[in-house]
Amino acid sequence: MAVLICVPRRASAQSVTIPNAPSSLAWQDTKGAVVVARPSSNYPYGVSLSDCVNDYSLTFPIALTGFNANNELEVWAGPSGADCSDDAQRGASTKARTCWKVTPSSPSLVPFQTVSIKVRDIIANPATKTSSYVAQDASICGTIDYSFFDVYFLLTVGGAAQTYAKQNIAADTIGPRAVTNVSVTQGDSRLFVSWNPHDPGPSDATQFSVYYQATTADLPCAAPGLTSTSHAASASTVVASDTSSLVEIDGLSDGTSYAVAVAAQDAFLNDSNHPLVCQAPAARSGADGAGGGCAVTRIGEREGSTWLVVVAFVASVCAMRRKEER
């Protein structure tokens, strides 16, 4: 007599992955257009002040296996160290909750998709800790000092986590302390900008940028500090120095007043506050205004704005050139 033996079929293993992260992450603006990431040394997938102010989103490629009709894909975030796969940390109890939803609805259950998440929602803590999605506005920007967050992609059944993938995201939306002792002096068709980056010095500044523009009715000398709106810094940034720095801005019009500002920048390319200093170039009889012949050439327009970024040579280099010319 034949005996029929039934062996249960093992269910396919469920998994959630973020293939090739973090290099597979990408930036989008509010219209869905691609935004160029910052250089690799400037937290290209971290959240800066300009990312938040511009309401950018990060897109994550998500791959799913073994899912079924009972599953949902939920996206949560929490401070680094929290465990958003723990049901209690996403639950209804405000006492135990440490995580918050970052998407208004569950993404589709398909083998591969791209999920777009607003960076304001990723850095919502401590503004929002709720089991329901709450969209963040610009008030969250400028409140997060150097911190890390984890974004969780959870495959759930009835709200209970089955498996997950997570991605760590750095954030810093507060710039360095402002540069002091900024001096702008006249030359023939040029201005000389100097400052001491460490007097008292922004402790977390990694580079400096000099901005300038001819003053107008809309930009008088009494205007508030300038701000940089460029997300992706070009190579024309200024490396920080332990000594005083000097920049020459040439090709200007004598007699025209220019608003000039020196901004310290941190590793996320957040600008410090930078009040304006106004000065007009002027020809000097019998001199080219170079004060020793140490000139620095401007580099060109900063991407995304009308400001120009110029390279600074440290004072020690200038001093060496002056000695050679004597």
| pLDDT tens over the chain, length 326 residues | 444 444 443 446 999 999 999 999 999 999 999 999 999 999 999 999 999 999 999 999 999 999 999 999 999 999 999 999 999 999 877 777 899 999 988 999 999 999 999 999 999 876 667 778 889 999 999 999 999 999 999 999 998 999 999 999 999 999 888 888 888 999 999 999 888 766 555 567 777 888 888 887 776 676 554 443 332 222 233 444 545 577 888 888 999 998 888 888 889 989 888 777 889 999 865 544 443 332 332 323 333 333 333 333 223 333 333 334 43
104: cis peptide before it, omega within 30°? no
In the numeric block, the tokens 């939803």 are attached to 101
The domain boundary residue, chosen from 147, 171, 195? 171
Return all residues near 86 (Cβ < 8 A) that are at least 6 apart.
161
Report pLDDT for 222.
60
Residue type, 300: G
CATH code, 233: 2.60.40.10
Report pLDDT for 170.
97
Domain span at residue 150? 15-171
Report pLDDT for 30.
96
Does residue 6 lie in a domain region? no
The C-alpha atoms of residue 183 and residue 59 are separated, in whole angstroms, by 43
Model-level pTM? 0.73
Does residue 48 lie in a domain region? yes
The C-alpha atoms of residue 240 and residue 208 are separated, in whole angstroms, by 6
Report pLDDT for 326.
39
CATH code, 38: 2.60.40
| 270 strand-pairing partners | none
Residues 281 and 309 in one domain: yes
Number of structural domains (the chain) is 2
Does residue 189 lie in a domain region? yes
The domain boundary residue, chosen from 150, 171, 192? 171
Residues 35 and 145 in one domain: yes
Burial class (CB in 10 A: 0-12, 13-18, 19+), 60: buried
Does residue 9 lie in a domain region? no
Residues 166 and 185 in one domain: no
Report the Cα 125 to chain-centroid distance in Å. Answer: 18
Q: Tell me the CB-side half-sphere exposure of residue 19, using CA atoms within 13 A.
A: 10
